[in-house]
């Protein structure tokens, strides 16, 4: 039985596939941006050649000087920190244009750094890169001119037999088969461009890639963004969860009351709570789209706690609230996180216990400046066995409260206490957590 892999039909399908693979790089824009990057490396040599030895009537010995004369000036330029920044940006745009676009959108970590030199190692790698780019550029520029000349000489020899000397080769005679050889120099040029572009990209990754310090900085920045996104997610959970809980409780109470006046009040409370939640949602989505840290000015603090208390009262809860101490003197992070903790605590009460009497104590110690939050409500009766104390894993509210308190160096305790459900949170006035 004939081998299927070597059968004429299999070979017939393999050859077009191989041809498509060979021609595919010519259809990619990155091939030509890399070619441009290679040719730009010869600009310095051309500028130096205008001074010495001159770019007209060059001899072979003169050509050898062109890639040598600019070496020392390039090494001197590499000592300037901004040189690495310029080379990194150019390499990103021309050697990895697709990756550059994805990096700008935050979907890909850069392989090529775009930052000034920060150490002697950065300067040394930049100098090596500039010299390598010079030599590769000179070679690419030479072959980009001479190989098409070889094609032209072969076509001329095939058509009228005109003898031509190109790259040290003398093409003479009148042979028709010269026309068959004419495409080979162009194919060799394109193969050279593709290979040289790939090699230069690999060299740029090695010589212009992020240093260990830059990778550490990038990792820290990414961690900060993730922490900020998690923080925004918690705030969105608190705000939307509170609004939905109030809306559900109000709707249920209005249906049970059967009073038009109570229904009007309930709808007004639902409207106000929903509008506030929509504002929070819009702010969070805008910040996530812009991928920027949220400014503290547009985040509510404990000075806005009356809004939370009013929404809980509108949901049917009887609130015994007492606020003591200078809330306005609290550090921003403590005030903002205290607001979210109080919001989550009231949401948990409405969600698990319903519109029951709630005792809220918010106090700022005059001597230490520490914040103390205390929220209490009756334990659910036999008809509501699913309170927050029913067991672990019932939700993320209490865990989120503990996480917020821990981030500020405080502590949170929750559980049955003297016949009630009690949440007690203490936050120290530590200003070192100003990024929260």
The pLDDT mean for the chain works out to: 79
Query: In the chain, helix, strand, coil percent, each to 5?
Result: 65, 10, 25
Of 419 and 98, the structure prediction assigns the larger pLDDT to 419
CA atoms of 339 and 299, how far apart (whole Å): 10
Q: Tell me the per-residue pLDDT of 252-262, one tens digit each, with 9 for 90 and over.
A: 777 777 777 77
Q: Could you tell me which residue, 21 or 346, shows the higher pLDDT?
A: 346
Tokens of 195: 């290979």
Residue 6: per-residue pLDDT: 55
Residue 178 CA to residue 290 CA, distance in Å, equals 61
- Give the model's pLDDT for residue 287: 66
Top pLDDT among 14 and 59 is at 59
Q: What beta strand segments (E) does 266-381 contain?
A: 319-324, 358-364, 371-378
Pairing of strands 371-378, 319-324: unpaired
Write the DSSP symbol of residue 52: T
- State what percent of residues in the chain have pLDDT above 70: 76
Q: How many CA atoms lie within 13 A of 126 on its CB side?
A: 30
Hey, what are 253's tokens? 């109470």
Per-residue pLDDT, 271 = 74
Q: Which residues pair with 171 in a beta bridge?
A: 164
pLDDT tens figures, 204-242: 999 998 887 777 777 666 766 666 677 777 777 777 777
pLDDT at site 305: 85
DSSP β-ladder status, 358-364 and 319-324: parallel
- When pLDDT is cut at 50, 70 and 90, the band that residue 126 belongs to is very high
pLDDT at 58 > cutoff 70: no
Strand partners, 363: 324, 372
SS3 call for 314: helix
Q: Output the pLDDT for position 2.
A: 47
Q: What is the pLDDT of residue 392?
A: 40
Between 47 and 21, name the one with better pLDDT: 47
What pTM does this model have? 0.54
Q: For residue 352, what pLDDT is reported?
A: 80
Residue recorded with tokens 């509108």: 314
**Per-residue pLDDT band at 389 (split at 50, 70, 90):** very low
Query: E strand or H helix at 33, and its extent?
Result: helix 29-40
Between 425 and 391, whose confidence is greater? 425
Beta bridge partners of 416: 421
Largest CA distance in the chain: 111
pLDDT number for residue 387:
42
Q: What is the pLDDT of residues 395-425, one digit of tens each?
A: 567 887 888 888 888 899 988 988 888 999 9
More confident residue, 104 or 28: 28
How would DSSP label each residue in 364-406? E-TTT--EEEEEEEEPP-TT----TTS-TTS-SHHHHHHHHHH
């Amino acid at each position: 039985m004939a081998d299927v892999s070597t059968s004429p039909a299999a070979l017939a399908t393999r050859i077009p596939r191989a041809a498509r693979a060979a021609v595919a790089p010519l259809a990619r824009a990155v091939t030509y941006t890399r070619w441009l990057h290679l040719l730009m490396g010869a600009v310095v040599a051309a500028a130096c050649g205008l001074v010495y030895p001159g770019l007209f009537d060059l001899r072979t010995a003169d050509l050898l000087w062109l890639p040598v004369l600019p070496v020392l000036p390039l090494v001197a330029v590499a000592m300037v920190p901004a040189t690495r920044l310029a080379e990194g940006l150019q390499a990103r745009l021309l050697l990895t244009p697709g990756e550059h676009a994805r990096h700008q959108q935050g979907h890909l970590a850069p392989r090529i750094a775009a930052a000034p030199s920060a150490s002697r190692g950065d300067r040394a790698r930049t100098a090596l890169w500039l010299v390598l780019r010079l030599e590769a550029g000179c070679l690419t520029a030479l072959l980009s001119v001479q190989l098409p000349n070889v094609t032209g000489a072969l076509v001329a020899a095939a058509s009228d037999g005109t003898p031509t000397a190109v790259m040290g080769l003398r093409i003479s005679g009148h042979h028709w088969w010269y026309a068959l050889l004419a495409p080979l120099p162009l194919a060799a040029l394109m193969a050279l461009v593709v290979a040289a572009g790939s090699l230069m990209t690999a060299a740029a990754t090695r010589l212009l890639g992020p240093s260990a310090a830059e990778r550490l900085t990038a990792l820290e920045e990414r961690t900060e963004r993730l922490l900020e996104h998690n923080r925004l997610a918690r705030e969105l959970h608190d705000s939307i969860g509170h609004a939905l809980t109030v809306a559900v409780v109000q709707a249920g109470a209005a249906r049970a009351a059967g009073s038009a006046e109570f229904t009007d009040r309930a709808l007004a409370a639902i409207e106000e709570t929903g509008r506030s939640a929509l504002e929070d949602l819009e702010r969070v989505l805008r910040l996530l789209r812009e991928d920027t840290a949220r400014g503290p000015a547009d985040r509510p603090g404990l000075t806005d706690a009356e809004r939370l208390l009013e929404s809980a009262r509108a949901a049917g809860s009887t609130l015994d609230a007492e606020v003591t101490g200078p809330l306005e003197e609290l550090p921003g992070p403590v005030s903002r996180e205290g607001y979210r903790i109080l919001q989550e605590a009231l949401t948990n009460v409405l969600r698990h216990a319903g519109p029951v009497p709630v005792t809220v104590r918010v106090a700022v110690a005059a001597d230490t400046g520490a914040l103390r939050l205390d929220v209490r409500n009756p334990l659910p009766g036999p008809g509501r066995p699913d309170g927050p104390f029913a067991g672990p894993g019932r939700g993320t509210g209490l865990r989120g409260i503990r996480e917020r308190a821990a981030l500020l160096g405080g502590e949170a305790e929750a559980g049955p206490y003297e016949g009630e459900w009690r949440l007690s949170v203490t936050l120290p006035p530590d200003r070192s957590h100003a990024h929260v």
